C-alpha cells in the first residue's frame, strides 16, 4: 500500500517505510530531524518539468503526463524496490509541496500502484 504525506506532518507508526521523493531537500527541516528510511531523488520529476509546473507554464494534467513519461523511461530498478516493499506493508511517499491535491507524489503513487512486481512473460 502506498500513501502520500507532506514532510512537515507528524510521523506516525502507520507510515511504515518512509521515503523522500523530492529532488531538493525540504526547506526548514534539518536532515537529522526528518524521520525517513530513504531518499530517492531519481524518482522526482526533472528540474525543467518541476519548474514548468511551478511557473504555471503547464497545467497539472500536462505535468502528470510528462512526469509519467519520465517515470516510464527510468530503469525498473529505480522504483521496483518500492513496489516490493509495498507488497509487505505501507510505503509513505514524502514530499514538501504545499499543494496536497496537485503534486508529483500523487502521480508517482498512481504510477507505482499500476506496476507489476515481476515482469509478465
Degrees, nearest 5: CA angle 113-97-40:
55
Summarize pLDDT for 35-85 with one digit per residue, the tens.
Answer: 999 999 999 999 999 999 989 999 999 999 999 999 999 999 899 999 999
Section 8-23 average pLDDT = 96
Q: Express as a percent the part of the chain with pLDDT over 70.
A: 97
- 105, 97 Cβ separation under 8 angstroms: yes
Q: Hey, where are the domains in the chain?
A: 2-113
- 21, 94 Cβ separation under 8 angstroms: yes
Q: Is the pLDDT of residue 104 over 90?
A: yes
Which sign, positive or negative, has the C-alpha torsion 55, 52, 63, 34? negative
pLDDT value of residue 119: 58
Amino acid at each position: 500500500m502506498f500513501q502520500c504525506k507532506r514532510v512537515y506532518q507528524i510521523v506516525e507508526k502507520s507510515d511504515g517505510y518512509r521515503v523522500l521523493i523530492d529532488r531538493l531537500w525540504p526547506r526548514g527541516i534539518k536532515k537529522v530531524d526528518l524521520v525517513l528510511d530513504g531518499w530517492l531523488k531519481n524518482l522526482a520529476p526533472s528540474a525543467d518539468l518541476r519548474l514548468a509546473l511551478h511557473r504555471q507554464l503547464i497545467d497539472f494534467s500536462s505535468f502528470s503526463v510528462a512526469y509519467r513519461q519520465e517515470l516510464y523511461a527510468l530503469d525498473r530498478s529505480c522504483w521496483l524496490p518500492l513496489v516490493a516493499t509495498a507488497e509487505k506493508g505501507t510505503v509513505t511517499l514524502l514530499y514538501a509541496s504545499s499543494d496536497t491535491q496537485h503534486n508529483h507524489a500523487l502521480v508517482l503513487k498512481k504510477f507505482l500502484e499500476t506496476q507489476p512486481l515481476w515482469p509478465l512473460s
